Amino acid sequence: MSDSTPRQPAGVDLSQLRVQENVDLRHLNTFHVAAQARYLVRVAGTDHLREVLRWCREEGLPFLLIGQGSNVLFKQDYPGLVIELQLLGREVVADNTEWVDVRVAAGEPWHGFVQYALKQHWYGLENLSLIPGTVGAAPVQNIGAYGVELKDFFVELEALEVASGVVQRFSAADCAFGYRQSFFKQAGKDRFVIVAVTLRLRKQQRLVLDYPGLRAALAGVAPDQLTAQQVSAAVCQLRRSKLPDPGQLGNAGSFFWNPHVSANEFAALRQRFPALPGFPDGAGFKIPAAWLIEQAGWKGFREGDVGVHRDHALVLVNYGAATGAQLVALAERIQASVVERFAIPLWPEVRIV
Ligand code: FAD
Ligand code: EPU
Q: What is the pLDDT of residues 243-258, one digit of tens each?
A: 999 999 999 999 999 9
Helix (H, G, I), strand (E, B) or coil at 217: helix
Q: Is the pLDDT of residue 84 over 50?
A: yes
* pLDDT, position 4: 47
Does residue 69 come out as left (phi exceeding 0), alpha (psi in the -120 to 50 range) or beta? Answer: left
Q: Is the pLDDT of residue 54 over 80?
A: yes
201 lines ligand 1 (CB under 6 A): no
Could you tell which of 126, 140, 349 is best to mutate to test the pocket of ligand 1, judged by most ligand atoms within 8 Å of the CB? 140
Q: At 312, which CATH number?
A: 3.90.78.10
Rounded average pLDDT over 301-305: 98
Concatenate the DSSP letters of all residues of 152-210 into one string.
GGEEEEEEEETTT--EEEEEHHHHT-BTTB-GGGTTTTTTEEEEEEEEEEESS------
- Evaluate whether residue 5 is within a structural domain: no
* pLDDT, position 13: 80
Cα(8)–Cα(203) distance, integer angstroms: 54
309 lines ligand 2 (CB under 6 A): no
Last residue of a domain, one of 242, 276, 305: 242
Q: At 229, which CATH number?
A: 3.30.465.10
**pLDDT tens digit string along 102-113?**
999 999 999 999
* pLDDT, position 282: 87
Task: Please say whether the beta carbons of 81 and 112 come within 8 A.
Answer: no
- Judgement on whether residues 21 and 120 belong to the same structural domain of the protein: no
* pLDDT, position 2: 40
Any idea of the CA torsion for 134, 137, 142, 145, to the nearest 10 degrees?
-30
- Judgement on whether residues 76 and 140 belong to the same structural domain of the protein: no
The ligand that comes nearest to the alpha carbon of residue 348 is 2
CA dihedral for 202, 204, 207, 208, sign (positive or negative): negative
- Evaluate whether residue 330 is within a structural domain: yes
* pLDDT, position 7: 52
- Judgement on whether residues 110 and 238 belong to the same structural domain of the protein: yes
The number of distinct structural domains making up the chain is 3
* pLDDT, position 8: 52
242 lines ligand 2 (CB under 6 A): yes
Does residue 155 come out as left (phi exceeding 0), alpha (psi in the -120 to 50 range) or beta? Answer: alpha
Cα(21)–Cα(23) distance, integer angstroms: 6
Rounded average pLDDT over 57-65: 96
pLDDT grade, residue 11 (50/70/90)?
A: low
193 lines ligand 1 (CB under 6 A): yes
Per residue, the 3-state secondary structure of 210-253, as one string, reads CCCCHHHHCCCCCHHHCCHHHHHHHHHHHHHHHCCCCCCCEECC
Average pLDDT, the chain: 95
Task: Please say whether the beta carbons of 160 and 50 come within 8 A.
Answer: yes
Q: Is the pLDDT of residue 3 over 50?
A: no
**pLDDT tens digit string along 89-146?**
999 999 999 999 999 999 999 999 999 999 999 999 999 999 999 999 999 999 999 9
- Judgement on whether residues 201 and 262 belong to the same structural domain of the protein: no
Residues 6+ apart with CB under 8 A from 339: 345, 346
Last residue of a domain, one of 242, 269, 290: 242
Q: Is the pLDDT of residue 205 over 70?
A: yes
- Evaluate whether residue 7 is within a structural domain: no
User: Which domain covers residue 48, as residue numbers?
Assistant: 14-85
- Evaluate whether residue 8 is within a structural domain: no
* pLDDT, position 179: 96
- Evaluate whether residue 1 is within a structural domain: no
β-sheet bridge partners, residue 99 = 202
- Judgement on whether residues 67 and 176 belong to the same structural domain of the protein: no
* pLDDT, position 223: 82
- The rounded Å distance from CA 71 to ligand 1 centre is 4
- Judgement on whether residues 100 and 79 belong to the same structural domain of the protein: no
Last residue of a domain, one of 85, 110, 137: 85
* pLDDT, position 166: 97
Residues that are catalytic = 180, 254, 349
Helix (H, G, I), strand (E, B) or coil at 176: coil
- Evaluate whether residue 347 is within a structural domain: yes
* pLDDT, position 1: 37
